[in-house]
Amino acid sequence: MSDKMHIKLKVNGEDREFLAEPRELLIYALREHLDLTGPHVGCDTSHCGACTVTIDGKSVKSCTMFVAQANGAEITTIEGIGQPDALHVLQESFREHHGLQCGFCTPGMITRATKLLEENPDPTEEDIRFGMAGNICRCTGYQNIVKSIQVAATEMNSAKEAAE
């Protein structure tokens, strides 16, 4: 009964178009239509944050948005944040400070952290823990994730100062 819709998105700076049923969840649309497998399907119940992407400037759990809702939106996934040969400061910092073990939650963590630091470039430890509360990690115990974000924030701030 429901026909496919013509979906247009701007993903990681590129215009993308495809046909999808409105009921498809954004996370599956990104992974299966656009081959962006960085955002992960974790809990599929909007708890874990592994599917976090940035949509029109908001951190969103893409398992809890229909692709139809996102039609026309601008989306950033982990693929648009860094590349294996050009890591984002946050990615470097997670690697350096052991902010991951298995790595499954990491794309969501990094994507959420980019937005957190954009809104609050100089967060306290409490700000980080509160701002990252929608992302679950079962390996690290969070200590090193917090540290990775703190160090990245400091580095990003000094780079900004140096540029001014």
Instruction: Please report whether residue 20 would count as binding another protein according to CB under 8 A.
Output: no
- Separation of alpha carbons 72 and 123, rounded Å: 32
Which string of x and - marks every residue 41-80 that binds another protein (by CB under 8 A)? ---xxxx-x--x-----xxxx--xxx-xx-x---------
Q: What is the enclosing helix (H) or strand (E) of 116?
A: helix 106-119
Binders of another protein among 144-163, rule CB under 8 A?
none
Instruction: Identify whether the C-beta of residue 7 lies closer than 8 Å to the C-beta of residue 29.
Output: yes
Q: Which residue type sits at 62?
A: S
Judged by CB under 8 A, how many residues of this single chain contact another protein? Answer: 30
Instruction: Please report whether residue 19 would count as binding another protein according to CB under 8 A.
Output: no
Which string of x and - marks every residue 24-43 that binds another protein (by CB under 8 A)? -x------------------
Q: How far from each other are the two terminal CA atoms of the chain, in whole angstroms?
A: 57
- Separation of alpha carbons 89 and 103, rounded Å: 17
- Separation of alpha carbons 49 and 70, rounded Å: 18
Return the number of the residue (95 or 130) whose C-beta is nearest another protein. Answer: 130
Where does this chain bind another protein (CB under 8 A)? 1-2, 5, 21-23, 25, 44-47, 49, 52, 58-61, 64-66, 68-69, 71, 112, 116, 130-134
